[in-house]
Amino acid sequence: MNGSAGQLLLVDENDRVVGHSEKGTVHRLGLLHRAFSILVFDDAGRTLLQRRAPGKYHCGSLWTNTCCSHPLSGETMADALQARLSFEMGFACPLFHHHTFTYRADFPETNLIEYEIDHVYTGRFNGVPHPNPEEVMEYRWVTPVELGREIRSKPERFTPWFRLIVERLGSCRKPEKIERPMLTIADTNILVQLTSPLLI
């Protein structure tokens, strides 16, 4: 059995895997690692948000994107995406890569550090989620206008990575052709030019 199975993937600045380590160690030491964030939209263009359970290792009770986690050593990104979405939100749907960015956030209340290369994926779903109460406190669907106004007026209610995702998207608006894979655009300026402005 591979002793690294179930551990997070440590990466360099170009997202090349350089090692693996246990989740707690990675976040205590602030090691750069691979992660993913999922944004699910419905046909009306609303975004599905979740409120993280209070007992999460950081950012408990904050609102964030539909789902986020880390691919584990020995696990493909595709398998990790569907497994985590199903585990947290109780459904699966096709997901497509949208963009990738790097961020770092310190959480002094828990002495943890998030330092991630975050791969953002989008999908479409029109059913009823069945969230795992150990992971998700509650959920809601929001329009781009509602989300933009709330993030601008009360940013402390949202996780830091989700605020960055919305900033980079220009808006949390349903991609026009979500049924097909989208180009990965790492440059924020180019990405903003290709998306709608945040509706305030």
- Residue 124 in any domain: the answer is yes
- Residue 199 in any domain: the answer is no
- Residue 2 in any domain: the answer is no
- Residue 37 in any domain: the answer is yes
171 close to 198: Cβ distance less than 8 angstroms: yes
Sign of CA dihedral 164, 124, 37, 88: positive
101 close to 118: Cβ distance less than 8 angstroms: yes
- Residue 190 in any domain: the answer is yes
pLDDT digit string (tens) for the chain, length 200 residues: 344 557 999 999 999 999 999 999 999 999 999 999 999 999 999 999 999 888 776 676 789 999 999 999 999 999 999 999 999 999 999 999 998 989 898 888 888 898 999 999 999 999 999 999 999 999 999 998 899 889 889 998 898 889 888 877 764 555 554 433 332 323 333 233 323 333 22
Domain count across the chain: 1
| Burial of 71 per CB tally in 10 Å (0-12, 13-18, 19+) | buried
Tell me the residue range of the domain where 15 lies.
Answer: 8-194
82 close to 90: Cβ distance less than 8 angstroms: no
CATH code, 190 = 3.90.79.10
- Residue 200 in any domain: the answer is no
- Residue 1 in any domain: the answer is no
User: Catalytic residues, which ones?
Assistant: 68, 116
- Residue 3 in any domain: the answer is no
pLDDT of residue 196: 32
